[in-house]
Amino acid sequence: MEVITQEISVTNSSSTDLEITFLSLCDCLSIDPQSRTISAGERSLFNLTLEPEGYGVMSRHMLVDKNGKKTTTKVFVTLPDPPKETLSMGCPECREKEKAIEDQERAKKILDSWIIADIYYSPGCSTCEEFIMDAGVEYTIKKHNILEKEELTSLEKKLKLLDIGLKEFPLLIYKDRVLQGGEVNIEKFKKILSFKQETTLNEKYRNTLEYLKPLPIFFAGLLDGVNPCAFTTLLFLISSLFYVGRGRKEILTVGIIFTITIFLSYYLVGLGLLNVIRTAFIFPIISKVIKYILIIALLILSLLSFFDAYNAKKGSVNQMKLQLPKGIKKRIHNVIRKNTRNRGLVVGTIIIGIMVTIFELTCTGQVYLPIISYIIKIEASLSSYFYLTLYNLGFIIPLVLVFATIYKGSNNKKIATWFSSRLYIIKLLLGLLFVSMIFFI
């Protein structure tokens, strides 16, 4: 059959130059020129050449690259009527449908073979721009500005579908694989391109570790609950209640209200810190600064905790470094004395719980803040709200046990003696906790 030529016109209605490339998905269709740069507001002509098969209206698919954005388009060509002797030969419409399906399948294969990844970053990130320049030579990298609310919302939806937590920026997504922070480099990117999804013993091991991730959070909360800063305040509260003549039932009531107030107060403080740190982690420079500050602080805290453990072991408790400042300790005691004497026991206990939370943060925050950073880093299959709840449940368990022991008939002197005899162990465990957190934040 005779070759058909047709002219198409492309107009650049934008304010910038347009680089356009056509790629035919059929050997029967060619275009000349295949690539061209069209100035803003200008129009350019392209010649299509088709070797037809069949008769009637014929369609063929082409891939179009416009300034790096790839799409598919369909070209329609009206063919001359067939000779009368050929009308009874076959079904041109059927052949046309078959051809269209083949074109679509071929287009899909080509699109699938293209490497298209999404990078989410903030403007001014030099490492991001460097990666885009390196990867953009061979692959298509779509850029997304996380300072735009729509882009950030879109990212959060994608990560939710992938069941992956947002840790830090820049963030790169390719299919179901995600790189974050320092992982975003050309070497890591090429590795995930060649990655094959297989169920191996190593993956089963990693899945097991995923389920174990909440355990350090609970343990840290439990350890923070027996932190001398918090525990000595609890003992002082119980002593004050006995001193003003409160009965065991009243002490149990105070214990329930105090525990609930402490749990809610610490949870809300943690929620605020979580949102602030997570927002700060959006910016790579700020994220690195926070990380290094935490590492230095944890190193110092671990050394001081080991020093305190040594002093506690030899009975020199007054020489311990990590404890509430005398001024804050005095304020807490004044709040407790004032509100345990009030007739309004419920309101007084709530006030004590809130004020104790605020004043003790200078001490208990030493554990809380790094744990929140850890939560942001590992958040994946479970919500950060669950992790915060888990931490604070661990934190209030010592409170519950102490008040329950007092209600059962024990006294605060026995509890104080038990605590003092194990103070060096608690300090030692706190030191080990600080050291371990250096490797996980």
- Which structural domains are found in the chain, ordered by start? 4-92 (2.60.40.10), 116-197 (3.40.30.10), 209-438 (no CATH)
Would you tell me how many other CB atoms lie within 10 Å of the CB of residue 300? 14
Helix axes 326-340, 228-243, angle to 10 degrees: 30
Q: Is 399 helix (H, G, I), strand (E, B) or coil?
A: helix
Contact present, 368 and 217 (Cβ < 8 Å): no
Q: What's the average model confidence in pLDDT over 331-350?
A: 86
Global pTM reads 0.58
Q: How much is the pLDDT for 104?
A: 60
pLDDT over 90 (residue 428): yes
Rounded alpha-carbon distances, angstroms, from residue 152 to 23, 148, 173, 185, 204: 33, 6, 13, 21, 32
Q: What's the average model confidence in pLDDT over 412-440?
A: 88
Would you tell me how many other CB atoms lie within 10 Å of the CB of residue 410? 13
In tens, the pLDDT along 134-191 reads 887 667 788 888 888 888 888 888 887 777 877 778 889 988 888 888 888 888 888 8
The model's confidence at residue 368, banded by pLDDT at 50, 70 and 90, is very high
How many CA atoms lie less than 13 Å away from 1 in the CB half-sphere? 15
pLDDT over 90 (residue 303): yes
Q: What is the rounded distance in angstroms from the CA atom of residue 84 to the CA atom of residue 87?
A: 6
pLDDT over 50 (residue 90): no
172-188: b (≥16 Cβ within 10 Å) or e: bbbeebbbbbebbbeee
Q: Tokens at residue 261, please?
A: 């107030």
Contact present, 160 and 150 (Cβ < 8 Å): no
Q: How much is the pLDDT for 159?
A: 85
* Percent of the chain topping pLDDT 70: 79
Q: Is 65 helix (H, G, I), strand (E, B) or coil?
A: strand
In tens, the pLDDT along 232-247 reads 888 888 888 888 888 8
Dihedral angle, C-alpha 38, 43, 49, 50, nearest 10 °: 110
- The residue written with tokens 């790096």 in the block is 68
Q: How much is the pLDDT for 430?
A: 92
Q: Is 22 helix (H, G, I), strand (E, B) or coil?
A: strand
Would you tell me how many other CB atoms lie within 10 Å of the CB of residue 108? 13
When the pLDDT of each residue in the chain is averaged and rounded to a whole number, the result is: 80
246-263: b (≥16 Cβ within 10 Å) or e: beeeebbbbbebbbebbb
In tens, the pLDDT along 216-233 reads 899 999 999 888 888 888
Q: What's the average model confidence in pLDDT over 404-422?
A: 84
- The residue written with tokens 């083949």 in the block is 102
Strand pairing partners for 140?
Answer: 116
Q: Tokens at residue 373, please?
A: 């950073």
Q: What is the rounded distance in angstroms from the CA atom of residue 375 to the CA atom of residue 425?
A: 26
Nearest partner of 281 among 166, 371, 386, 177, judged by Cα:
166
Q: Tokens at residue 144, please?
A: 């997304």
